[in-house]
């Protein structure tokens, strides 16, 4: 179906503009766009009533429970959550059971995703077999089978020699490696960030220096090998100088941060609220503010949800024993809009981090309103307020730290290849 969106606020992260205008979709592609009114016609005309039309979100590092933990999240439930949250492309992690470390497992994931999800789902593959850090996976075969990047997730590869060999081989293939900057010894067993708050709560803690140490190690190996490297989460001010030096030196390095670390801090843990237990742990307010400024500057490239579904049994435990992680596919956009409403980040700059940059870094469709681009777009009202009810989420797991929070910004409709995959009821 050909669709004409008119009277829309076009959010263009490539041009950095926000204009009132129109956009025409033909055969799943963006065919034309312009400012002001239009006399063009289409099979379906949508009057956006000055709501925002933007590229769909590209969310990287999403955990889906298939195979192995389908009770926590399936491709079907994750796809429904993504569509409702304005996420049109998901890049999944390899930390499934078993890990995505063979072409056969990766092919299973691709087929299940294609059959069950209305959004694009593209998998990362494991860097080492079983994510055990001992033996490199068949990177070439996995790349041919559709892997968009390689990562062992939060299982930090401790052996620098093994990691350097993986990087050398990935460099020869032109593949992207995604690292989890953290010193594995210092961070082992930690539940919160070290400081007065951690001491008062009596919880095992990790210094922010553990992140910097892990990042420094990875960046040194990147300099040695020349591989393309992406840090899955940067969350402390102490890591920023190392990241800045790497970029200024011309290394092929990017970094992301989760929306939870941009909008929450260590005090949100409160009275041992396990929905706020994430990995790495929430940081001090000074770190959060520094992360917002690093994002504004462009030092941090990408905002992601780090969607990690956990069932009630995994979270209804003492804080130290509870599983880490929070769902975020449906809260990524409204939580990110806090940075627009409260921190003055423009909508084009926000969508640069949410859509354009991740699409470019992982070489996946999306992130653009340019003519000829795939028509993966979302219509949203950035000012519409609501109170989040976790039981209304489409995800199977409901472990969100934003339960009961007042959020502002609501997705009205989502489109992939010009096909409407989600439309909010008028009520």
14 contact partners, CB below 8 Å, separation of at least 6: 356, 367, 368, 369, 370
In terms of Cα–Cα distance, which of 309, 274, 276 is closest to 398? 309
Residues 275/399, Cβ–Cβ less than 8 Å: yes
Question: What's the sign of the alpha-carbon dihedral 144, 148, 149, 152?
Answer: negative
User: Tokens representing 270?
Assistant: 């409160």
> What is the C-alpha separation between 305 and 315, in angstroms, rounded?
18
Cis bond upstream, residue 7 (ω within 30): no
Specify the pLDDT at position 427: 45
Q: Is 204 helix (H, G, I), strand (E, B) or coil?
A: coil
Distance (Å, whole) CA 83 – CA 141:
31
Task: State the pLDDT at residue 425.
Answer: 81
- pLDDT, position 426: 55
Measured CA to CA, the distance from residue 81 to residue 422 in angstroms comes to: 10
What is the enclosing helix (H) or strand (E) of 263?
A: helix 259-263
CB 86 within 8 A of CB 57: yes
pLDDT by 10s per residue, the chain, length 427: 799 999 999 999 999 999 999 999 999 999 999 999 888 889 999 999 999 999 999 999 999 999 999 999 999 999 999 999 999 999 999 999 999 999 999 999 999 999 999 999 999 999 999 999 999 999 999 999 999 999 999 999 999 999 999 999 999 999 999 999 999 999 999 999 999 999 999 999 999 999 999 999 999 999 999 999 999 999 999 999 999 999 999 999 999 999 999 999 999 999 999 999 999 999 999 999 999 999 999 999 999 999 999 999 999 999 999 999 999 999 999 999 999 999 999 999 999 999 999 999 999 999 999 999 999 999 999 999 999 999 999 999 999 999 999 999 999 999 999 999 999 985 4
**Domain at 56-361: CATH architecture:** Alpha-Beta Barrel (3.20)
pLDDT of residue 329: 98
Q: Where are the domains of the chain?
A: 56-361
pTM for the predicted model, two decimal places? 0.96
């Amino acid at each position: 179906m050909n669709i004409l969106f008119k009277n829309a606020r076009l959010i263009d992260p490539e041009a950095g503009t926000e204009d009132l205008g129109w956009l025409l979709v033909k055969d799943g592609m963006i065919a034309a766009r312009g400012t002001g009114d239009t006399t063009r016609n289409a099979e379906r005309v949508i009057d956006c009533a000055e709501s925002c039309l933007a590229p769909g979100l590209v969310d990287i590092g999403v955990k889906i429970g298939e195979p192995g933990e389908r009770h926590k999240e399936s491709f079907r439930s994750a796809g429904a959550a993504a569509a409702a949250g304005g996420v049109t492309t998901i890049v999944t992690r390899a930390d499934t059971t078993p890990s995505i470390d063979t072409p056969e497992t990766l092919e299973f994931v691709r087929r299940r995703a294609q059959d069950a999800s209305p959004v694009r789902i593209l998998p990362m593959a494991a860097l080492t077999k079983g994510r055990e850090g001992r033996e490199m996976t068949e990177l070439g075969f996995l790349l041919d089978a559709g892997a968009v990047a390689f990562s062992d997730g939060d299982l930090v590869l401790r052996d620098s020699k093994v990691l350097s060999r993986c990087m050398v081989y990935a460099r020869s293939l032109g593949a992207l490696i995604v690292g989890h900057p953290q010193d594995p010894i210092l961070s082992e067993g930690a539940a919160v960030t070290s400081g007065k708050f951690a001491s008062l709560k009596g919880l095992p803690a990790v210094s922010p220096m553990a992140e910097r140490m892990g990042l420094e190690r990875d960046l040194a190996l990147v300099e040695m090998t020349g591989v393309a490297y992406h840090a899955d989460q940067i969350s402390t001010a102490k890591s920023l100088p190392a990241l800045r030096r790497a970029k200024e030196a011309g290394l092929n390095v990017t970094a992301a941060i989760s929306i939870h670390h941009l909008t929450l801090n260590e005090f949100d843990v409160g009275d041992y609220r396990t929905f706020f237990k994430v990995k790495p742990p929430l940081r001090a307010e000074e770190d959060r503010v520094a992360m917002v400024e690093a994002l504004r500057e462009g030092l941090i490239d990408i905002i992601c949800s780090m969607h990690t579904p956990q069932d009630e049994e995994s979270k209804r435990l003492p804080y130290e024993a509870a599983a880490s992680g929070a769902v975020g596919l449906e809260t990524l956009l409204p939580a990110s809009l806090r940075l627009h409403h409260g921190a003055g980040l423009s909508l084009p700059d926000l969508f640069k981090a949410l859509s354009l940059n991740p699409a470019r870094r992982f070489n996946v469709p999306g992130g653009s309103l340019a003519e000829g681009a795939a028509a993966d777009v979302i219509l949203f009202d950035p000012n519409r307020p609501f109170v989040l009810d976790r039981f209304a989420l489409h995800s199977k797991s409901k472990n969100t730290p934003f339960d009961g929070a007042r959020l502002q910004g609501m997705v009205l409709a989502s489109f992939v290849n010009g096909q409407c995959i989600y439309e909010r009821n008028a009520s």
